[in-house]
Amino acid sequence: EVQLVESGGGLVQPGGSLRLSCVGSGFRFSSSAMTWVRLAPGKGLEWVSGTSGNGGSKYYGASVRGRFTISRDNSKDTLYLQMDSLRVDDTAIYYCARVSGASHASGTYYTTWGQGTMVTVSS
Amino acid sequence: QSVLTQPPSASGTPGQKVTISCSGSTSNIGHNFVHWYQQFPGTAPKLLIYKNDQRPSGVPDRFSASKSGTSASLAISGLRSEDEANYYCAAWDDSLSGVFGGGTKLTVL
């Protein structure tokens, strides 16, 4: 069974940092591009970041570019999201999702999602 | 404000057909495939439609979708109470990022 499990969420003050992890199982992790998507309270889904299967390509949404860094360790089947300079409006549930191909492209979509991890940015 | 535009809400009675629209631009829907996700409160999103009009196995054929130009739509026929959820359209954008619609909350009256 394909499964994704996120961890690392919590309460952090504005300006602080947090690192999220997402462990994949049941599929060849290194063959799948991966992505982070978030859901803020009362808002809709927002695409945050994505990376190719080999980690060589990385993409970011405009609201997080320069503050967040996506990475992966294929030897550990784990995806990461390093979040720095956190702001109140980064408060959200963060989901990792498996992409349908080895890289992000026109036809790729998100086949499997984790249960999400909550990040709260507040003083 | 989301890149793709969806109506915030939609509703229908059991058995009816409901359509949810999704409007974008040349750089996203115009040049790329559209996908749809279903999300129930408190749960993770689930893939509902991929590549404009393809249903993953297990998704009832009551769900259908189409794309034309820079717009797309999701149709749910034979509406059932268990269809009450949030629906999101999504696409890849030529600026090398993913984009989502703001989501449509479907209420079954």
- pLDDT score for A104: 82
Decide if A109 and B33 are in contact by the 8 Å CB cutoff.
Answer: yes
Does the CB of A105 have a partner CB in chain B at under 8 Å? Answer: yes
Residue A12, pLDDT score:
98
**Which SS3 state, helix, strand or coil, does residue A99 take?**
strand
Q: Is B82 exposed, middle or buried (0-12, 13-18, 19+ CB in 10 A)?
A: exposed
The closest alpha carbon to B37, from B96, B109, B104, B93, belongs to B104
A88 CB within 8 Å of a chain B CB: no
Listed residue (A13, A5, A25) closest to A83, CA to CA: A13
Residues of B in contact with A105 (CB under 8 A): 92
Would the CA dihedral through B27, B31, B32, B36 be positive or negative? positive
Each residue's pLDDT tens digit, B72-99: 999 999 999 999 999 999 999 999 999 9
What integer pLDDT is reported at residue A108 of this predicted model?
Answer: 87
A89 neighbourhood in chain B, CB within 8 Å:
none
Put simply, the answer to whether B92 touches A105 (Cβ < 8 Å) is yes
Strands B18-23 and A3-7: unpaired
* pLDDT on residue A105: 80
Q: Copy the structure tokens of residue B17.
A: 């057909």
pLDDT of A101: 86
Burial class of residue A83 (count of CB atoms within 10 Å of its CB; 0-12, 13-18, 19+)? buried
- The answer to whether residue B65 scores a pLDDT higher than 80 is yes
Please indicate if any CB of chain B lies within 8 Å of the CB of A58.
no
Instruction: Give residue A29's region: left, alpha or beta (phi > 0; psi -120 to 50).
Output: alpha
- Does B10 score more than 90 pLDDT? yes
B96 to chain A: closest CA residue: A59
Smallest CA–CA distance, residue B88 to chain A, in Å, is 8
What's the rounded Cα separation, in Å, for the pair B90 and B88?
Answer: 7
Q: Is there a contact between B98 and A104 if contact means CB atoms under 8 Å apart?
A: yes
- The CA distance from A33 to the nearest CA of chain B, in Å, is 13
**Over chain B, what HEC string results?**
CCCEECCCEEEECCCCCEEEEEECCHHHHHCCCEEEEEECCCCCCEEEEECCCECCCCCCCCEEEEEECCEEEEEECCCCHHHCCEEEEEEEECCCEEEEECCEEEEEC
pLDDT of B1: 83
pLDDT digits (tens, 9 = 90+) for A70-114: 999 999 999 999 999 999 999 999 999 999 988 888 788 999 999
How many angstroms away from the CA of A1 is the closest CA of chain B?
15
Rounded-to-integer distance, Cα B31 and Cα A76, Å = 35
Q: Token pair of A69, please? A: 């860094």
Amino acid (one-letter) located at A89? D
Per residue in A41-75, pLDDT tens? 999 999 999 999 999 999 999 999 999 999 999 99
Q: What does the pLDDT read at residue A102?
A: 85
Beta carbons of A47 and B50 less than 8 Å apart: no
CB pairs under 8 A between A and B: 71
Q: For residue A31, how many other CB atoms are within 10 A of its CB? A: 11
Identify the pLDDT of residue B42.
93
Radius of gyration of chain B (CA): 13
Cβ atoms within 10 Å of B107's Cβ, excluding its own: 12
List beta partners, residue B90.
Answer: B35, B100
Instruction: Kindly state the percentage of chain A with pLDDT values over 70.
Output: 100
pLDDT in tens, A7-52: 999 999 999 999 999 999 999 999 999 999 999 999 999 999 999 9
